[in-house]
C-alpha cells in the first residue's frame, strides 16, 4: 500500500466511526481528533509534490470550511505557493514536519 493509501484509510476510518447505521452523523466530536488530523496531514504532505491544495486538505480532514482548515494549518509554520497561497509547498514544508 502506498503512502496515500494510509491517508485514505485513515479518512475512511474516521468517516465510518462518525456515521450511524442510518447515515446520520452521531459523533460528539466536531471533526477528527487533532492527532488523527496530523497523521493524515503528514501522509498527504509526503505523498503530494510539489504542492498540496488547501481545498483538498479541507475535504480530507473534514473541516467545515477553508477558514477552519487554515486555522489548523497556521500554527504548523508551513510554506505556501500560488498567487493566493492556495496550496501548501510540500518540499519546503517537510522541514517543519518534525516540529509537530
Name the band, by pLDDT with cuts 50, 70 and 90, for residue 29. very low
Residue 42 pLDDT: 83
What does pTM read for this prediction? 0.61
- pLDDT tens, 55-87? 998 998 888 899 999 998 898 889 999 889 999
Q: CA–CA separation, 26 vs 38, rounded Å?
A: 23
- pLDDT tens, 36-56? 778 888 888 888 788 999 999
3-state secondary structure the chain: CCHHHHHHHHHHHHHHHCECCCCCECCCCCCCCHHHHHHHHHHHHHHCCCEEEHHHHHHHCCCCCHHHHHHHHHHHCCCEECCCCCEEEHHHHHHHHHHC
Going from N- to C-terminal start, the domains of the chain cover 3-99
In the numeric block, the cell 466511526 is attached to: 17
CA distances from 53 to 17, 36, 85, 90 (A): 26, 19, 9, 10
Amino acid at each position: 500500500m502506498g503512502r496515500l493509501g494510509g491517508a485514505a484509510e485513515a479518512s475512511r476510518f474516521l468517516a465510518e466511526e462518525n456515521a450511524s447505521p442510518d447515515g446520520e452523523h452521531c459523533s460528539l466530536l466536531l471533526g477528527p481528533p487533532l492527532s488523527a488530523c496530523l497523521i493524515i496531514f503528514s501522509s498527504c504532505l509526503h505523498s503530494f509534490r510539489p504542492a498540496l491544495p488547501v481545498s483538498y486538505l479541507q475535504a480530507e480532514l473534514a473541516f467545515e470550511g477553508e477558514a477552519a482548515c487554515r486555522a489548523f494549518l497556521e500554527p504548523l509554520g508551513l510554506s505556501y505557493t500560488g498567487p493566493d497561497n492556495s496550496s501548501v509547498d510540500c518540499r519546503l514544508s517537510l522541514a517543519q514536519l518534525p516540529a509537530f
